[in-house]
Amino acid sequence: MMKKLFAFIAVLGMLYIGASNNAVAQDQTEADSTEVVAAEPSAPAVSADAEEETAATAEQGQSLHSELKQKFIEGGAGFMSFVLICLILGLALSLERVIYLNLSTSNNKKLLLKVEDALATGGIEAAKEVCRNTRGPVASIFYQGLDRSDEGIDVVEKTVVAYGGVQAGLLEKGLSWLALFIALAPMLGFMGTVIGMIEAFDAIEVAGDISPALVAGGIKVALITTVSGLVVAMILQIFYNYCLAKIDSIVNSMEDASISLIDILVKHNLKK
């Protein structure tokens, strides 16, 4: 689990570094082009190029990447880093869970037909082989139930229920950490709000006068950190709810398929 988490963090970090390097290279290219154009002697051309440069600079300043970077610095890079860490770790956990849950989804009706056919043609061992070659928690539950089929239907039913609980626990693994980051991100934002207000009142105390210029910096920090924490929590909450819905769907299909397996075994025993 931790190896997968660190792998996701490393990938995200490389993507961010690559995007930053591309942005820096693009800025350097634009600066070099501006210097070459500015070296031309024609006055009208210089004026036109100056206007284009101003427009390009304004457009660049309004880009999403530049805006996020500016707000990150204004909110306090040291403090905002904790919010960013919550986002990166939360996204890593979310992606790991989404991939795992999607791989755990299987066609239970098709599996039941294969198991029933295997029981009719090759017996219990053939049905167990089908479960071995099938991915997903339902196939694992079927295998455990079939492995205890010689001990009676009651034992099979208890085994299926017990192992179903184990598989449900594996599906929910890591969600508690995701819930922690969802709760921690807005808390860090609210802490930034308090720190920003304290800085504003400290500035008022030192100056001995209330001035908008004195308190604007502290209030701005407070608002930026609060918004950042709330945005991170909302993003992670979407993934969290998706995972919960996916887990409920898989668990319901597991319970339905387990009942069908018991019925198939009962029919198989009656034919003996």
Q: What is the mean pLDDT of residues 40-51?
A: 45
At 50, is the pLDDT very low, low, confident or very high (cuts 50, 70, 90)? Answer: low
Q: Which token pair is 145? A: 């139930």
- The sign of the dihedral angle between the CA atoms of 15, 17, 20, 21 is negative
Whether 211 shows a pLDDT value over 60: the answer reads yes
Question: Of 104 and 24, which is predicted with more confidence?
Answer: 104
Residue-wise pLDDT for 83-99, tens only, equals 888 899 999 999 999 99
Question: Of 225 and 178, which is predicted with more confidence?
Answer: 178
Cα atoms in the Cβ-side hemisphere of radius 13 Å centred on 232: 31
Residue-wise pLDDT for 112-161, tens only, equals 888 888 888 888 888 888 888 888 899 999 888 888 888 888 888 888 98
pTM: 0.68
Distances (CA, A) of 208 to 28, 197, 217: 45, 16, 17
Whether 201 shows a pLDDT value over 90: the answer reads no
Question: Of 92 and 220, which is predicted with more confidence?
Answer: 92
Say what the pLDDT of residue 51 is. 54
Say what the pLDDT of residue 43 is. 39
Q: What is the largest CA-CA distance in the chain?
A: 101
Three-state SS letters, 188-218: HHHHHHHHHHHHHHHHHHHHCCCCHHHHHHH
Whether 21 shows a pLDDT value over 50: the answer reads no
Distances (CA, A) of 160 to 129, 137, 151: 17, 11, 13
Q: Please state, in angstroms and rounded to a whole number, the distance separating the CA atoms of residues 218 and 204.
A: 11
Question: Of 55 and 157, which is predicted with more confidence?
Answer: 157
Q: Which token pair is 243? A: 């995972």
Whether 257 shows a pLDDT value over 80: the answer reads yes
